[in-house]
Structure 1
Amino acid sequence: MVDWTELEKMCNNCTKCDLHKTKTNMVFGQGDIHTNLMFIGEAPGEQEDLSGIPFVGKSGQLFDKILTSVDISREEIYIANIIKCRPSQNRNPLDIEKKSCLPFLRNQVKLIHPKIIVCLGRVSAQSIINPNFKITKEHGIWFYRKGYCLIATYHPSALLRDPSKKRDAWEDFKTIKTKYDEFREKN
């Protein structure tokens, strides 16, 4: 297993798929590398590509509001994406792109070793929890694998497109907060 510096360097220099040709910045991830709570989205958007920081656009602003509403600060979590470079026009990542980037994400997870992994959206849940994951039916359900507590909820961009899903997401985040507090009490 590589260390953080080497992993980020490898990721930044990656040419396994064509996304490296059009990126402005590789978006590695951000946050507390000693956290028990990790969030995984699908891919950087335009603002993330420009800044190199995950979840800073409109979706990120909503994500921050949701975290605040359940009394979790962004500084105490780690957030990353399935892929590290922006797909053009924010399309869903291709299989080759996910396959190319997943080893980087797996290394991030191994280095952080969070107790809880939250998949933000269908693409993330299908890559992490189950290839046939149905976000509308399975969000908010806990899965346990290899010592990790896994859960998926709606991606903030889905909530912006369809505000009727916000109530379900709110319930999911309350569940996440409860589980997170359980681990904080143990430490």
Structure 2
Amino acid sequence: MSELESVARRILNCTLCDLCQGRTHAVPGEGPESARIMLIGEGPGAQEDVQGRPFVGASGQFMLETLATIGLRRQDVFITNLVKCRPPGNRDPLPDEILMCSQTYLDLQIELLDPKIIITLGRFSLGRFVPQASISRVHGQPQSVGGRLIYPLLHPAAALRRPEWRQAFQVDVARLADLIKN
């Protein structure tokens, strides 16, 4: 078993915070261990909780369809979330939940994968790397953080709710193609 698989097993059995009490499945994330691109969302939604896989609902479908326009497929990237269990009622994850899960699991996943590009999806994910940044101001603008390239995108669920954000999401993904080439 690889170290990344070991982390996934620990996530599946995690009881470090109260989010474990309401979950159907923890969602460790998925993708090849050789992935050079890592996508990090906020937390599992209802479909993700049921299936135990990240971004399998409507927002995930939209995100993957948009990524496909630049030649990226689900099997090419590693997809995960800040918190690995669905917050009750789909509420925002609490700061202590984000901190616990990120320090215990996400940071280790990043270290093991060593991705060339981390794509943050939404404000919570961006906030983990660039705490004072506003996603509405910096989406689509690459950030260098700790020697890593962070590429902030609007959350695909938000993009589905607002037509202007949908277009911005698609434009930002199109710009991502140039970053990948370089």
TM-score bucket (shorter structure)? over 0.9
Q: Which residue of 1 aligns with 2:149?
A: 149
Q: Which one-letter code corresponds to 1:126 in the other structure? A: G
1:143/1:151 contact within 8 Å kept: yes
Superposed structure 1 runs of 4+ greater than 3 Å apart: none
Task: Kindly indicate whether residue 175 of structure 2 is the aligned counterpart of residue 175 of structure 1.
Answer: yes
Q: Which one-letter code corresponds to 2:25 in the other structure? A: N
SS in 2 for 1:176: helix
Deviation at 1:145, TM superposition (A): 2.3
Q: Which residue of 2 aligns with 1:115?
A: 116
1:82/1:102 contact within 8 Å kept: yes
Deviation at 1:13, TM superposition (A): 2.1
SS in 2 for 1:79: strand
SS in 1 for 2:16: coil
2:23/2:86 contact within 8 Å kept: yes
Q: Which one-letter code corresponds to 1:86 in the other structure? A: R
Task: Kindly indicate whether residue 26 of structure 2 is the aligned counterpart of residue 12 of structure 1.
Answer: no
Task: Kindly indicate whether residue 126 of structure 2 is the aligned counterpart of residue 125 of structure 1.
Answer: yes
Deviation at 1:76, TM superposition (A): 0.5
Q: Which one-letter code corresponds to 1:6 in the other structure? A: S
Q: How many pairs were matched up?
A: 180
Task: Kindly indicate whether residue 70 of structure 2 is the aligned counterpart of residue 70 of structure 1.
Answer: yes
Matches within 5 A, 1:28-177: 28-103=28-103, 104-128=105-129, 130-177=130-177
SS in 2 for 1:172: helix
Distance 1:171 1:61 in 2: 17
TM-score w.r.t. the length of structure 2 is 0.94
Deviation at 1:5, TM superposition (A): 2.8
SS in 1 for 2:43: coil
Deviation at 1:85, TM superposition (A): 0.1
CA-based RMSD? 1.3
Gap runs ≥5 in structure 2: none
SS in 1 for 2:150: strand
Distance 1:48 1:19 in 2: 14
1:72/1:177 contact within 8 Å kept: no
Deviation at 1:82, TM superposition (A): 0.2
Distance 2:174 2:164 in 1: 17
SS in 2 for 1:80: strand
Moved more, 116-125 or 136-145: 136-145
Deviation at 1:91, TM superposition (A): 0.9
Deviation at 1:147, TM superposition (A): 2.6
1:40/1:117 contact within 8 Å kept: yes
